[in-house]
Amino acid sequence: MNSSNQAPIKRDNLIAMLLAYTTCVQVSSFIFWLVFLLQNYSALLLKQRNKRFHPESVAETEKQKYTMAHYEKGMKDVPGEDIHAYNTNYSAHREGIAPEEMVEIYNKWGENYEKDFAGRYNGPVIAATSLAEHFEKGRRDAYVLDVAAGTGMVGEQLHHRGFTAIDGLDPSKTLLNIAERKNIYGRLINSFITSEPTASIEEDTYDAIVISGGMGEGHIKCSALNEMIRIVKKGGLICIVMREEYLDYVEEYKNLEPYMKQLEIEGKWEKMERKVVPNYSFQKNGIVFTYKVL
Ligand SMILES: *[C@@H]1O[C@H](CO)[C@@H](O)[C@H](O)[C@H]1NC(C)=O
Ligand SMILES: *[C@@H]1O[C@H](CO)[C@@H](O)[C@H](O)[C@H]1NC(C)=O
């Protein structure tokens, strides 16, 4: 074969081949970089997404599981016709509820609060009866603070039993407005009760504090007992009525009785009474604690 026979590669063809070659290189390197960038970008997105959603969403499911467990525990012996009211009440007592959210729920509940509890909630009667037993005499003169007064159901029961000097404290303004219309309270104090001194309440002010329905998930903390002791006079009483089962499954109240005992050891107060009572609310047992401040 004679190479001279072969047609020489045309100049134009050579240029075309070169062009095709460089284009190929460029396109593949472009694809390479594109893939590289996309991979990194999606990894970044994934990382961010995980950062944003992952830990909380796990915590959230855990929380829901917890809440469901509590809900089911509390719910199991509630009679059918009471379930709606129970659920409404439960929404204010969910595990992990923030104090502001709780107040918001009570504010919305407002006018329906008493309707939902009519015939289901004997806490106010139990609380007022228990306190009255310790004031055979002197009910007219006893200065009482109804903590977690709400719409004033406890105040009414105290009033029926001859107490006349009653203040109420509650973080829900809407519920206090309803309590005010009953004309049985002196001061109505729109506040939480915590371990901190309550603004506008001097120490050694009251002869007694009474609470019914104020102890629940997200409600009054054990440490608020110190504040109650501060504002009750020496020799005065603190009477707390709550659902008995909360001592078992509300995390905060697993420590309630040990905390009460600790305050007793420290000489802050002395136990007068601890009694379990039937049908506190939704036919569930209640428990009454009465302490005398020292
Ligand atoms: C529980 O209390 C409610 C409300 O007072 C009452 O209607 C109901 O009959 C009581 N149930 C029992 C079992 O005593
Ligand atoms: C609502 O539920 C809480 C928690 O069970 C309880 O302490 C409170 O007494 C209930 N309220 C009434 C009015 O039954």
In a domain, 217, yes or no: yes
In a domain, 144, yes or no: yes
In a domain, 22, yes or no: yes
For residues 171 and 258, state if they share a domain: yes
Going by alpha carbons, the residue nearest to atom 1 of ligand 2 is: 89
For residues 127 and 253, state if they share a domain: yes
| pLDDT over threshold 50, residue 7 | yes
In a domain, 36, yes or no: yes
For residues 236 and 171, state if they share a domain: yes
In a domain, 92, yes or no: no
For residues 40 and 120, state if they share a domain: no
For residues 122 and 250, state if they share a domain: yes
In a domain, 80, yes or no: no
For residues 220 and 281, state if they share a domain: yes
For residues 197 and 252, state if they share a domain: yes
pLDDT at 10: 79
Task: Tell me which of 6-10, 118-122, 234-238 is least confident.
Answer: 6-10
In a domain, 38, yes or no: yes
Cα of 213 vs centre of ligand 2, distance in Å, is: 5
In a domain, 90, yes or no: no
For residues 233 and 157, state if they share a domain: yes
Atom of ligand 2 nearest to the CA of 243: 7
For residues 248 and 162, state if they share a domain: yes
- 216 CB under 6 A from ligand 2? yes
Atom of ligand 1 nearest to the CA of 119: 4
| pLDDT over threshold 70, residue 53 | no
Instruction: Report whether 275 contacts 287 (CB < 8 A).
Output: yes
Atom of ligand 2 nearest to the CA of 242: 7
Ligand index nearest the alpha carbon of residue 240: 2
pLDDT at 8: 63
For residues 143 and 276, state if they share a domain: yes
By residue range, what is the domain housing residue 200?
102-293
Structural domain count of the chain: 2
Ligand index nearest the alpha carbon of residue 283: 1
- 117 CB under 6 A from ligand 2? yes
Atom of ligand 1 nearest to the CA of 122: 5
Using most ligand atoms within 8 A of CB, pick from 243, 249, 253, 285 the residue to mutate for ligand 2. 243
pLDDT band at 42, cuts 50/70/90? confident
